Amino acid sequence: MTGTGTGSGRALWPSLLGEAQQGTDELCAVSAQGVRVRYADGRELLCGSSGLWNTNIGYGNRTIADAGAEALRDASYLSVFRYENVYARRAAAALIDVCGARHYQRVLFSTSGGAANDLVMKVARHYHALRGQDRRKVVVGLRGSYHGLTFGGFALTGDNLGQQVYGVDQRLVRHVAPNEPAEIKALLARQGAQIAAVVVEPVLGSGAVPLTEEYIAELLRLRAEYGFLLVADEVATGFGRTGTFFASQRWPGQPDLLVTSKGLTNGTMPAAAVVASHQVADAFTDAGAMLSHGETQAGTPVTCAAILATLQEMRRLNAVAQGRRLSARMDTELARLTAEEPRVSGTTGMGCFRSIRLTTADGSPLPQAHVPALVTAIREAGAIVHPGVQGIQLFPALTYTEAELTELLECVRAGIAAYTQSSAKAEAAA
């Protein structure tokens, strides 16, 4: 079905969607409520991906919607570009409170995770320049990481997503393997005096691979030895997704910069924030330095009202604790799935941030080219899931009920069975 009742389906050029799937009503959403999304073809599907990993407390929250509407009526547009506004002041203070005022001091607002990672690279390089270390311009990321598709974030992203095709400049970016201390130690031994920052996702977004306690401890030790800034990109892991409000709050030492987006407004607004430690903020304050960065829609009344309302609703719903309970049941259910499904080779991740990895009939890892067919099969069984490395990713809302989690896993099982059957037929025909 193409374009039925939805206007010209071919006027829109959607992101990261194959040409053959564009303009189809089964992929054109019309509404969402709770943890379900209705599509233009009439189907209503259970959302197992929390939108784009961002609707952590479900769709259609009235408190957040009403806060945004009120801010639009009362303040319309106010900026933090050469000005301040009271909404941004309140949201910044609230974020410092939830991140921890003993360690963090200032908040820079942005509009997306990618743009915020661009901002991180600026802050890190400027910070070292203020300390007389102008050579420190190299930023290190992890292979398999995802930091967005803006040019700075795209350069830092550790997956090959066509950076060379687009002429992305990666001359001042290095990548090392996650959870392998020897590789970053070797890099620092060679270039430690040039490295401005090391940026890590506490759980790598592409493969749902958590950083080990040992690796985090080594990063903290190396920071003390070499003096780079350690950055936690918590765009995906923040707002309760992994069992604490921010994943880095479990680290034995805190990052110098923390990046948050996605769950920041429960997916309702294009908003992000970079939260700076006292050490970083004081370097700018003491020097009277002005950072060269600004975004028209950053820190506006409507986005900041949504941030404040999201924090309020997270507390009211006790969402982080709900997510921990959901995670405990997922531990049990995913272990059972691995034991019972021959094609499931294992699961990765933590909290409500999981992946399921599959194999082919001969036991080799599922090729990435086969993943879209698996996602489609699960969709046809009734649930939305996200493609992952050698399989799928699950990001249920923290507010899922027991029945909704049961339904999601039943859809996953049915989809895997349907995919396995269809691939077996295709292999036999070949």
108-143 pLDDT, tens digit per residue, is 999 999 999 999 999 999 999 999 999 999 999 999
Sequence-ordered list of residues with C-beta below 8 angstroms from that of 117, at least 6 positions apart, any chain: 147, 148, 150, 152, 153, 156, 199, 233, 259
Does one domain contain both 232 and 327? no
How many domains does the chain contain in total?
A: 2
pLDDT of res. 430: 56
pLDDT of res. 428: 61
254, 285, 316: which is the final residue of a domain? 316
Residue 55: CB atoms within 10 A of its CB come to 27
Q: Looking at the predicted structure, is the pLDDT value of residue 6 above 70?
A: no
Q: Looking at the predicted structure, is the pLDDT value of residue 205 above 90?
A: no
Q: Looking at the predicted structure, is the pLDDT value of residue 149 above 60?
A: yes
pLDDT of res. 427: 64
266, 282, 316: which is the final residue of a domain? 316
User: What are residue 145's DSSP bridge partners?
Assistant: none
We report the CATH number of the domain holding residue 210 as 3.40.640.10
Does one domain contain both 282 and 346? no
Does one domain contain both 100 and 169? yes
3 belongs to a structural domain: no
Radius of gyration of the chain (CA): 22
Dist. CA 364–CA 286, nearest whole Å: 57
Q: Looking at the predicted structure, is the pLDDT value of residue 388 above 50?
A: yes
| Percent over 90 (pLDDT), the chain | 93
pLDDT of res. 413: 98
Residue with the larger pLDDT of the pair 20 and 62: 62
2 belongs to a structural domain: no
Range(s) of the domain holding residue 368: 19-57+318-429
Are residues 53 and 60 in contact, defined by beta-carbon separation less than 8 angstroms? no
Does one domain contain both 42 and 89? no
316, 345, 373: which is the final residue of a domain? 316
* Candidate from 9-13, 122-126, 219-223 with smallest mean pLDDT: 9-13
Q: Say if pTM beats, i.e. exceeds, 0.75.
A: yes
pLDDT of res. 9: 58
pLDDT of res. 429: 63
Does one domain contain both 278 and 329? no
| Percent over 70 (pLDDT), the chain | 97
Does one domain contain both 45 and 97? no
pLDDT of res. 248: 98
We report the CATH number of the domain holding residue 333 as 3.90.1150.10
Does one domain contain both 299 and 383? no
Are residues 276 and 106 in contact, defined by beta-carbon separation less than 8 angstroms? yes
CA 286 from centroid of its chain's CA atoms: 33
Q: How confident is the model at residue 1 (pLDDT cuts 50, 70, 90)?
A: very low
* Mean of all residue pLDDT scores within the chain: 95
Query: How do beta strands 203-204 and 173-176 pair?
Result: unpaired
118 belongs to a structural domain: yes
Going by the DSSP 8-state scheme, the letter that residue 368 receives in this structure is G
